[in-house]
Amino acid sequence: MSIETSQRIVIKIGSALIAPEQDGCRSRYLLNIAQFIVQCRAKGKEVLLVSSGAVAAGSHLFKNKDKSSVAVKKAMAAAGQTEMISTWERFFDFPSAQLLLTHGDLRDRDRYNSIRETLFTLLEQGILPIINENDAVTTDALKVGDNDNLSAMVAAAADADCLIICSDVNGLYDKDPNKNADARLLDTVGELTPEIYAMTGGPTSSVGTGGMKTKLQAAEKATSHGIVTYIVNGFNEDTFTELLNGANPGTRFLPYDTPMHEALHWMTHTASEQGELIVEAGQFDALSCDDIVAVNGDFSAGETVLVRSEDGQKLAKASCNYSSCLLNFIAQQDKDIVTEQVQNSIGPVISQNDIAVFEERNS
């Protein structure tokens, strides 16, 4: 699959492209990207834009302030967000809409479905969604932390078929190209193996929050949903011409042959676990109280938990029908009597329809 055959495209732009000097938004690198979006829409394709840059855009407004302060960064994001949106709007003669999200919005199933409905409605009306993390209000417990992974979550929520992650390098190399003259650009990656992840280094930009590792994490999220993913150089104007012509100017990550079901994908790649259930090693379907060896963390009924075996192996993520408080209470009682009473009224700890078992990717 190439851009030519894609019908719904998510493009992610980093802070270094929008505010390269951290002194406000600059159009230098954005013109080519905006033209690419316009041309995609002219071809009948739907586009969603995930744009970083609010903090970098607002940085110059806070002189004589400690910019490492969390409170100042939030204020910078609030001030810079308006400039970032107005900068994008100057390039388009069609309407756009701003969506500010946190991981708390995405990991809650009802709010996630509400986000999906909003995105679908905007696209139906020909409105360009411009999405960013809500850095002005988010906390450590609620933030995604980087827009690479946010873009993959948005692509999955929007049922996109293509994700383009713009970077400051040409794509994924087999070694750091800044330190190794013989580094080789990988044209196509069929599977994200531990060996592929081992090729990543740290961030190459002083402005953004993500490095190549977060881009690979995003590619894993997207490809498992059946979304072809590109990592390309957003600073190179030829990148977007090549994409429009159906070429691959960077690294292309192939989607799963059999994508994960939407609900299971959300459970695996978007919902974050609030605790852990430790169970005996082996296969499992529905989980009962008797199967649980230990309970870690503090979570409510309906929240997502990680299921591990006693030897530490991650087995699944699932929605738990019991709170950690109730499970710990049961563990302290006569298990046979209490388990039967509770499970007759509530049911299994985890239902078969609410579990995402970790498996090897489809060939």
Ordered DSSP codes for 76-91 = HHHHHHHHHHHHHHHT
CATH number of the domain that residue 334 is part of: 2.30.130.10
Q: Does residue 113 lie in a domain region?
A: yes
Task: Indicate the average pLDDT of the chain.
Answer: 86
Q: Does residue 363 lie in a domain region?
A: no
pLDDT digits (tens, 9 = 90+) for 206-236: 444 448 889 999 999 999 999 999 999 999 9
Q: Are residues 252 and 322 in the same domain?
A: no
Q: Could you tell me the pLDDT band of residue 347, with boundaries at 50, 70 and 90?
A: confident
Annotated binding site for substrate: 52, 135, 147
Q: Are residues 194 and 331 in the same domain?
A: no
CATH number of the domain that residue 163 is part of: 3.40.1160.10
Per-residue DSSP letter, 354: G
Q: Are residues 342 and 256 in the same domain?
A: no
Count other C-beta atoms under 10 Å from residue 293's C-beta.
13
Q: Could you tell me the pLDDT band of residue 316, with boundaries at 50, 70 and 90?
A: confident
Q: Which amino acid is at 143?
A: K
Q: Does residue 362 lie in a domain region?
A: no
Q: Does residue 256 lie in a domain region?
A: yes
pLDDT digits (tens, 9 = 90+) for 39-81: 999 999 999 999 988 988 888 898 888 888 889 999 999 999 9
Q: Are residues 215 and 305 in the same domain?
A: no
pLDDT higher than threshold 50 for residue 361? no
Cβ atoms of 293 and 329 within 8 Å: the answer is: no
Q: Are residues 16 and 133 in the same domain?
A: yes
The share of the chain scoring above pLDDT 90, in percent, equals: 47
Last residue of a domain, one of 209, 234, 264: 264
Q: Are residues 116 and 76 in the same domain?
A: yes
Token match 């605790």: residue?
A: 275
Task: Please give the pLDDT value at position 359.
Answer: 64
Last residue of a domain, one of 264, 290, 311: 264
Q: Does residue 178 lie in a domain region?
A: yes
Report the chain's C-alpha Rg in angstroms: 22
Q: Are residues 198 and 284 in the same domain?
A: no
Least confident range from 120-134, 215-229, 314-328, 337-351: namely 337-351
Residue of 28 and 92 predicted with greater confidence: 92
* Cα 60-65-68 angle, rounded to 5 deg: 90
Q: Are residues 112 and 130 in the same domain?
A: yes
Number of separate domains in the chain: 2
Q: Does residue 331 lie in a domain region?
A: yes
Q: Are residues 279 and 204 in the same domain?
A: no
d(CA 154, CA 50) in angstroms, rounded, equals 8
Q: Does residue 152 lie in a domain region?
A: yes
Residue ranges making up the domain that contains 70: 3-264
Last residue of a domain, one of 213, 239, 264: 264
Q: Are residues 197 and 226 in the same domain?
A: yes
Annotated binding site: 12, 52, 135, 147, 167-168, 209-215
Q: Are residues 50 and 171 in the same domain?
A: yes
Annotated binding site for ATP: 12, 167-168, 209-215
Q: Are residues 243 and 278 in the same domain?
A: no
Q: Does residue 104 lie in a domain region?
A: yes
- For the chain, the straight-line distance linking the first and the last C-alpha, in angstroms and rounded, comes to 17
Per-residue DSSP letter, 61: G
